[in-house]
Amino acid sequence: MIDPFGRSITYLRVSVTDRCDFRCTYCMAEDMAFLPKKDLLSLEELDRLCTVFIDKGVKKLRLTGGEPLVRKNIMYLVRQLSRHLASGALEELTLTTNGSQLAKHAAELADCGVRRINVSVDTLDPAKFRAVTRWGNLDRVLEGIDAAQAAGIHVKLNAVALKDFNDRELPELMRWAHGRGMDLTVIETMPMGEIDADRTDQYLPLSLLRANLEREFTLTDIPFKTGGPARYVQVAETGGKLGFITPMTHNFCESCNRVRITCTGTLYMCLGQEDAADLRAPLRASEGNELLSDAIDEAIGRKPKGHDFVIDRTTRRPAVSRHMSVTGG
């Protein structure tokens, strides 16, 4: 799959549910209206859809949400998809999780061939963790990280940088992560979906964060890549890697190799654009995959050059109306 700008699409992110057991203040409103379960693709349909993408050249597959591990019987889908690892058609099967359900699934994830996961942790202060997630329990997440590492899964932490909330804690979070053999990626808040908070108050440019970190740490740019949009530095004092995902201050569109599918079968060619393609209709229209494959090709042919993210200080409106949990993190 080659888009109009010559980029090869080899990375698929699949939201298996828009539901989550947290309500992070930068991601969701507290009183969310979720999709009716009847609108979701079945696990069998998700397997078939992913398999067509793998047949068309996808090498890396990430399951997201919402929180993917709250989807009923989600391990059935992981087990089914793992056959593509065994055949060599898929190079990596991974997921992004808040860690709340990780302790009970870590061993089976490892058995299915999952070697690396991302866990979202914005603060190590239990009270602040509860505040930013609204419903989250930090101890439960840390237990999940312990279980994943014990199962041999490499854990990378993701932290959204929030001005006047966790910006001063990020150096300590980085030391803690690196001390446990985990890399850390920090992410700028993205203007997606209406939330209760004002993102103009939350927004922290990572260029400013990096400048502050460089007063205390030696950061060296390195070409390390995991297939995603992060740009990495090596931290001399800790020996670990720190990634920066900067959709606002320095976008990563020129090398974009990924597309996203929602739990309803909608394909978004760009996280920061509204243009999408319905794959559920061709998926269900025939037992064969020709219609589905043609719909995917047509959509990839519309993949834009880049996104339109902007923090609008005039209207306070999000750049994209849908929440991140709909598209998938």
Known binding site for GTP: residues?
13, 62, 96, 156, 258-260
What residues form the annotated binding site? Answer: 13, 20, 24, 26-27, 62, 66, 96, 120, 156, 190, 253, 256, 258-260, 270
| Integer Cα distance of 185 and 177 in angstroms | 10
Which residue, chain included where needed, has tokens 């329990």? Answer: 137
Which residue, chain included where needed, has tokens 């298996």? Answer: 16
- Cβ–Cβ under 8 Å, residues 263 and 40: yes
| Integer Cα distance of 227 and 11 in angstroms | 7
- The rounded Cα 214 to chain-centroid distance in angstroms is 27
Q: How far is CA 243 from CA 18, 20, 231, 238, in A?
A: 26, 25, 5, 14
What residues form the annotated binding site for [4Fe-4S] cluster? Answer: 20, 24, 27, 253, 256, 270
What residues form the annotated binding site for S-adenosyl-L-methionine? Answer: 26, 66, 120, 190
Q: How far is CA 285 from CA 17, 263, 266, 291, 295, in A?
A: 22, 18, 15, 8, 12
| Integer Cα distance of 203 and 30 in angstroms | 19
131 token code pair: 């505040």
Cis, peptide link before residue 66, omega less than 30° from 0: yes
**Contacting residues for 12 by C-beta, under 8 A, at least 6 apart:** 50, 53, 58, 60, 61, 62, 258, 259, 260, 261
261 token code pair: 């599918």
Q: What is the DSSP letter of 101?
A: T
